[in-house]
Amino acid sequence: MSAPQRQTDDSDSTAAGPSQGGRAPSGGSDPHEVGERGGHDLPEGVQRVHAVLQGKGHPHAPLMLADAVRTAQQAADALGIEVGQIAKSIIFRRKSQGGDSGDKAVLVITSGDRRVDEAKVQALVCAGGSRLGRADASFVKAATGFSIGGVAPVAHAVAPVTLIDRELFRFTEIWAAAGHPHGVFKLRPQDLQTLTGAPVADVVEQPAPGTA
């Protein structure tokens, strides 16, 4: 689950899914493990994610939920988990001084109950005159190979600059999009580092008192 950076309380990107071979938690959608459907029956984006997870020895295959989960809240509701356990994929566009051809996707994988602080991200990834901007749907598709609502943290068409929100480490188990609005997979926060090689950083706004 993901989207260009236009944050709402729910944010535009989300992802989640029950564990491999399991059933959705209470209140969840009926899941089907990738292996149950066969690779060729799956959306192309989910196949790409599945291949990367297999190649890195990740123990949890993508699952296909009956209902689309395009927001963090929808994903959490479908899975019966906390919104913070949803690993949202927020895409920014790092604009270069040399024109659009030098622009780069910036992926911020953040907790579903947090909002990205753009100033913090810019300070971490922009240098030499580049600046952080919003990413529209066409840029997201071209850079990641995924459509908005299904951007996974792995298997992008072009490797992005990636940052992992430290707030995800409040949880032992999280869920991320698997390349399609119905596709999700289970992981631990530390697995994001293994899968992406990205650093963990302070990238979100401070939550309001009493909401942390």
- pLDDT tens digits along 195-205: 999 999 999 99
Q: Residue 42: pLDDT above 90?
A: no
- pLDDT on residue 211: 64
Q: Please give the domain boundaries of the chain with CATH numbers for all domains.
A: 2-199 (3.90.960.10)
Q: How far is CA 161 from the centre of its chain?
A: 13
**Of 81, 89, 85, which Cα lies nearest the Cα of 106?**
89
Q: Residue 20: pLDDT above 80?
A: no
63-111 pLDDT per residue, tens: 998 888 988 999 999 889 999 999 999 999 999 876 667 899 999 999 9
Entry pTM: 0.82
Q: Residue 21: pLDDT above 50?
A: no
Contacts of 11 (CB under 8 A, 6+ apart): 3, 71, 72, 88, 90, 110, 112, 115
What is the H or E stretch that residue 79 is in? helix 72-79
Q: Residue 10: pLDDT above 50?
A: no
Q: How many helices (H) and strands (E) does the chain have?
A: 6, 10
> 175 or 39, which is more confident?
175
> 15 or 44, which is more confident?
44
Banded model confidence at residue 143, pLDDT cuts 50, 70, 90: very high
Out of 4-13, 103-112, 201-210, give the one with best mean pLDDT: 103-112
Segment 137-165 mean pLDDT? 96
Q: State the average pLDDT for the chain.
A: 84
- pLDDT on residue 40: 57
- pLDDT on residue 25: 45
> 1 or 177, which is more confident?
177
